[in-house]
């Protein structure tokens, strides 16, 4: 398990209780009175149901063609964590927004739950574009995507082969492939990586033989003197009332706990390869100047083609940009998408 801990300086997290830090406008469960909301269901190319929260500005002219944005949640979270907040805030600015549950998570389909499949995750975003493109009130030529944390790498992976995504933005992005291969700041050795892969494949065989699934603890359940600063950051969101959420139908909050037996699939995930081919569609990378994940946004920015922008939020850490409305640069996101989708 020590190897798992080394690899998991990751952006994956969970449940709620008390003691949350609600400073800087933390408001994950924000409810806007300026937008309408409906749940929608559509199929990805694997014929799996994807579930999303669709938001529209009140008074929007449904007889006209409107711009839209698909929004993805942090890795292992669900749409009610961070992405629905972003969806409402951007809908208030005139966009139709769609916050989706990735396959195997939340209300979306996929068995076994919490399976890792970056290819299917990426396809979920293209499926959301399929759905929006068929709605009479959407301009199919004006659809953007926004990925928070791990979803940032999935939207990039999707956009490389889906030119219908006209503008791509990420917030507190994690390159989930690099994070598992190398750890933060390349702290994981090749020997540790191989040991981790061996553990995952042994667990896969155990499950094939009928054994119970084992989940990686993306966020600790309790704090003690040995808990790292990164784990404390995730704990404050996913294990407190600030952001903890138990999906409907689940007895406990298993969000952010991916299956160990499938986690090796991230080792083969290289979302930044050929990122320059997204050009000339614009890209915006938003990260906090104190974010432990900043290296991933900087890497993507260096590799991307023009037009591109790296926007660094002063005083913000990684999880701060999940829900702290006083720090999240909604005005920057609004101007980016309005210019790109005009």
What is the pLDDT confidence band of residue 218, given thresholds at 50, 70 and 90? confident
48 burial via Cβ count (<10 Å: 0-12, 13-18, 19+):
middle
pLDDT at residue 11 greater than cutoff 60: no
Residue that has been written with the tokens 């449940």 in this structure: 15
Q: In what order do the strands lie in the sheet with 35-43?
A: 35-43, 49-57, 96-100, 66-72, 138-148, 165-171, 283-288, 308-313
**What per-residue confidence (pLDDT) applies to 281?**
98
At which residue do the structure tokens 């920057």 appear?
332
Question: Cβ contacts of residue 189 below 8 Å, gap of 6+?
Answer: none
Q: What percentage of the chain reaches a pLDDT higher than 70?
A: 93
Residue 30 has phi, psi (to 5 degrees) of: -55, 135
pLDDT tier at 246 (50, 70, 90 boundaries)? Answer: confident
User: Is 8 a residue whose pLDDT tops 60?
Assistant: no
Residue 92 has pLDDT above 50, yes or no: yes
pLDDT at 252: 63
Confidence at residue 10, expressed as pLDDT on a 0 to 100 scale? 42
Least reliable range by pLDDT among 12-16, 185-189, 307-311: 12-16
Q: Where are the alpha helices (DSSP H) in 1-60?
A: 2-7
Residue 143, C-beta contacts closer than 8 angstroms, at least 6 positions apart: 67, 68, 69, 70, 129, 132, 133, 164, 165, 166, 341
Of the pLDDT bands very low, low, confident and very high (cuts 50, 70, 90), residue 62 is: confident
201 band by pLDDT with thresholds 50, 70 and 90: very high
pLDDT tops 60 at residue 102: yes
Contact present, 81 and 319 (Cβ < 8 Å): no
Q: According to the model, what pLDDT value does residue 266 have? A: 97
SS3 221: coil
Give dist(CA 100, CA 207) in Å, integer. 29
Confidence band of 177 (pLDDT split at 50, 70, 90): very high
> For position 256, what pLDDT does the model report?
83
Residue 276 neighbours by CB under 8 Å, 6+ apart:
303, 304, 305
With H, G, I as helix, E, B as strand and everything else as coil, classify residue 10. coil
pLDDT at 3 over 80: no
Least trusted range by pLDDT, from 24-33, 81-90, 235-244: 235-244
Domains along the chain? 26-189+262-337 (3.40.50.1820)
Residue 220's pLDDT band, with cuts at 50, 70 and 90, is confident
The residue with tokens 């061996």 is: 198
pLDDT, position 221:
80
Q: Which residues pair with 99 in a beta bridge?
A: 53, 71
Alpha-carbon distance of 261 to 34, in angstroms, equals: 43
Tokens of 100: 């989706």
pLDDT tens for 247-272 read 776 666 567 889 999 999 999 999 99
Helix (H) or strand (E) holding 54: strand 49-57
Give tens-digit pLDDT for 23-58.
999 999 999 999 999 999 999 999 999 999 999 999
More confident residue, 10 or 336: 336
Give the pLDDT confidence score for residue 219 in this predicted structure. Answer: 80
The per-residue pLDDT for 95 is 98
Closest CA to 179 of 1, 2, 12: 12
CA distance 218 to 128: 27
Q: Which DSSP category does 78 fall into?
A: -
The mean of the pLDDT values for the chain is 93
Which helix H or strand E contains 126, and what residues bound it? helix 118-133
Contacts of 239 (CB under 8 A, 6+ apart): 13, 14, 15, 16, 17, 219, 220, 221
Contact assessment for residue 9 and residue 186, using Cβ atoms and an 8 Å cutoff: no
């Amino acid at each position: 398990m020590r190897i798992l801990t080394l690899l998991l300086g990751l952006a994956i997290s969970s449940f709620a209780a008390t003691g949350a830090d609600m400073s800087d406008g933390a408001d994950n469960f924000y409810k806007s009175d300026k937008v309408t909301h409906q749940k929608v269901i559509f199929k990805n190319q694997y014929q799996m149901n994807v579930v999303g929260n669709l938001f529209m500005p009140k008074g929007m002219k449904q007889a006209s063609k409107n711009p839209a944005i698909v929004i993805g949640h942090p890795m292992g979270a669900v749409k009610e964590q961070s992405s629905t907040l972003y969806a409402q805030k951007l809908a208030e600015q005139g966009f139709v927004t769609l916050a989706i549950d990735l396959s195997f998570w939340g209300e979306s389909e996929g068995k076994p739950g919490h399976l890792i499949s970056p290819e299917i995750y990426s396809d979920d975003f293209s499926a959301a574009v399929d759905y929006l493109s068929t709605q009479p009130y959407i301009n199919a030529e004006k659809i953007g995507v926004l990925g928070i944390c791990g979803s940032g790498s999935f939207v990039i992976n999707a956009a490389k082969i889906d030119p219908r995504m006209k503008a791509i933005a990420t917030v507190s992005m994690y390159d989930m492939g690099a994070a598992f291969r190398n750890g933060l700041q390349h702290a994981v050795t090749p020997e540790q990586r191989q040991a981790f892969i061996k553990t995952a494949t042994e667990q896969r065989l155990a499950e094939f033989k009928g054994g119970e699934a084992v989940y990686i603890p993306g966020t600790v359940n309790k704090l003690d003197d040995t808990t790292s600063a990164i784990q404390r950051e995730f704990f404050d969101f996913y294990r407190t009332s600030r952001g903890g959420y138990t999906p409907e139908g689940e007895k406990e909050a298993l969000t952010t706990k991916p299956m160990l037996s499938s986690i090796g699939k991230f080792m083969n995930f290289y979302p930044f390869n050929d990122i320059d081919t997204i050009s000339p569609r614009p890209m915006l990378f938003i990260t906090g100047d104190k974010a432990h994940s900043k290296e991933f946004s900087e890497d993507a920015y260096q590799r991307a083609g023009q037009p591109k922008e790296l926007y660094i939020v002063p005083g913000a850490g990684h999880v701060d940009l999940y829900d702290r409305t006083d720090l999240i640069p909604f005005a920057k996101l609004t101007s980016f998408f309005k210019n790109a989708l005009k």
